[in-house]
Chains A and B, each alone.
Chain A
């Protein structure tokens, strides 16, 4: 039961940090003005076009595909597998489990392997390609190691040392209602869960911010219409209203 409480608190803290941390960053991105029109051209001339452009970036990684086929392959396989794996995990929070989640179970199960393959490809690239090695900080390697660790331990609970998944489900379903339940004491499971909590904790202070951040990237989210519509940031409008060129003008 101690284990259940420790991990219960850990997951509550991690969830709060994740949600509030990202919310705070999104708030900052949102309120920071983009004073100039800087879409990378050619850019869509309508808002709908921008949604389509963003869709292609977020779902198919269009720019990365143009940039580097190996990186695209590894990154695409990793991210898409991650979605399947995450979706599969919905069953730990639902009762009864919806039919679509049930249907996706086998796909999610094997996506775990694909996810690790993708991550391994990215890690090998980071080590082998001299340019990518040069730009990597220790945290860039560790991030991949952490994700591989999460994937590997997760797969082990399924394929190597079976965990009492019903108990795990009890734990998480209880957690949502502050109804503390015990957690199986399998070391592999505990490493898996601790790593996930750690990932959630560092999400808002790391490069994982690319996930919400891309939606705020002016070079991708702006409409190409500067001649038709005047685009003015609030601070620039203030300067204009005061009749000033420079803020230090008298």
Chain B
């Protein structure tokens, strides 16, 4: 299946042993490089070119000076970067916490070593000790080899922030890797996957480049599917002016499995609760790849589409679907980037997560649930990294852990948690977050999934777990792609609202099902 070794998972403990340090096991050329015309749309420099007949690119003119200028610019605009570059004491607390290090054993995948790729250059050019005693403090000159290492290893970080949980100073490698990618974008080393996708959002409104008509078609198809299954006319409104709720969801929800089952779940919940909602074709994307590349400007540009859609449609609230990074940008950044939202109904937080709608409805008994409809499954829950460590749900800290679990338990009879060192704020990333979910990075994706696979195997073998629920489009896409490498099957990954959808009984559904059964018997 692959020309590299798949990490071994036994499922014995649910937690993989920390490997001995190896060198350069994941050295490489990194993901595909972004062409100048993609960079242009992002307002990044374009004075670099493909080296004839190869997949390689030159760097921009005066790249070294411009890289250092950018680093200097960023450290004066981001306190996180300045403080984190200065204060690491190399205690090693983070060294065994990264899923990519555990899966690859490559020394440069230890969080502090990854930070050091940039920190060593910072020290060399911006600190007294590094300027005059570089060898003593491990400072290095900025060379093309260093740039290659940056490009390679900063694209082996999913910005999941697990390391920052364990750092005694909270040093967040995600902040460093975002800054590094921003610098790389300014010297001709953008990542094609991210910039190409963002170009589509800027132009069309979603990562897929799905135009209004195609989206309307897709939604119509979903209405038919739900009606065919339940007999109920559940609407998937698009661009409906004056609706109460604008639903922003990752575009993967429109077509990918199991994402789309989640979208049907939201629609059924809204339908049964009598909520007036709509999608927007202008802002038909929850994901915001601007965060991955550390570009405040591009992230804001995408976020402002949501503000405009909300204003144009005249909605009262904004609700986000199941998407990890989208929820981080929404919960933590949206007010900053595209606020203030004083034109929305002040009774509701802006924005809300769809689980913050579903859970209170379940508690109030407003959804007609038949839990036995999920009795063919035993569930576990994968805490998505960006939701767990970058956001909250509800009004209490930790709601991001409890609310999804509460919802699952309210619609399923069988639920088991994985090894506690791999859940809640200690959760392991799926291996595909932060701009890594691209085919040219398959090896790191497969290896980075190993810690989660071990935890999953532990509960499947010992506690009869059959399915793992997730609330992130990237987690769902990543897992369906990589779990076959570990002996699982794609359909073992489910959306949380898919489970809600299974158990939710709509008006007239039972009668409809009976007629269908009778007809089947008849033929």
Contact = CB atoms under 8 A, between A and B. Distances in A.
Q: Do A and B come from one complex?
A: yes
Interface stretch (B107-115, B149-157, B451-459, B461-469): B107-115
B392 A68 contact: no
A135 B384 CA distance: 29
Contacts of B401: 42
B95 A132 contact: yes
A23 to B, nearest CB: 15
Interface stretch (A7-15, A30-38, A162-170): A30-38
B110 A219 contact: no
Interface string A179-214: 000000000000000000000001001110110011
A246 B351 CA distance: 25
A236 B296 contact: yes
A236 B169 contact: no
B93 A219 contact: no
- Candidate in A75, A134, A214, A228 with the most chain B CB atoms within 10 angstroms: A134
Q: Which of B116, B167, B331 has the most CB of A within 10 A?
A: B167
Given A25-B86, A40-B161, A130-B21, A137 B136 contact: yes
Interface stretch (A59-67, A109-117, A147-155): A59-67
Contacts of B409: none
Interface string A225-246: 0111111110110010000011
A218 interface: yes
B390 interface: yes
A23 B304 CA distance: 39
A40 B400 CA distance: 13
A102 interface: no
B175 A245 contact: no
A67 B167 contact: yes
Interface size class of A (residues with CB under 8 A): 35 or more
A131 B23 CA distance: 11
Given A135-B92, A140-B89, 16 more contacts: A32-B76, A64-B93, A71-B92, A125-B92, A129-B92, A131-B21, A138-B137, A138-B138, A139-B138, A214-B169, A217-B80, A217-B87, A219-B161, A219-B171, A226-B335, A232-B336
- Residue of A29, A66, A135, A224 ringed by the most chain B CB atoms within 10 A: A135
Q: Which 8 A-B pairs have the closest CB atoms?
A: A137-B138, A213-B87, A219-B170, A67-B166, A67-B93, A42-B397, A132-B92, A131-B95
Nearest to B342: A230
A78 to B, nearest CB: 11
A43 interface: yes
Given A42-B425, A230-B339, A29 B79 contact: yes
Given A41-B392, A42-B397, A217-B171, A209 B86 contact: yes
A28 B169 contact: no
Nearest to B391: A41
A245 B297 contact: yes
A136 interface: yes
A53 to B, nearest CB: 10
A214 B79 CA distance: 12
Residue among B90, B94, B340 with max Cβ neighbours from chain A (10 Å): B90
Contacts of B332: 36-38, 226
Nearest to B87: A213
Contacts of B84: 217
Interface stretch (B127-135, B241-249, B371-379, B506-514): B127-135
B75 interface: yes
B468 to A, nearest CB: 22
B78 interface: yes
A28 B300 CA distance: 26
A32 B79 contact: yes
Given A41-B400, A245-B297, A75 B425 contact: no
Contact of A61 (B168, B301, B336): B168
Contact of A236 (B94, B164, B336, B350): B336
A95 interface: no
A245 B296 CA distance: 9
Contacts of B88: 207, 210
A57 B168 contact: yes
Contacts of B364: none
B398 interface: yes
Contacts of B350: 227
Contacts of A236: 296, 300, 336
Contacts of B172: 38, 40, 219
B43 interface: yes
A161 B82 CA distance: 45
B339 A220 contact: no
5 contacts: A36-B332, A64-B91, A134-B113, A140-B89, A227-B350
B97 interface: yes
A36 B333 contact: yes
A35 B127 CA distance: 24
B168 A64 contact: yes
A246 B45 CA distance: 13
A198 B166 CA distance: 31
Contacts of A218: 79-80, 83, 170
Contacts of A42: 392, 397-398, 400-401, 425
B90 A246 contact: no
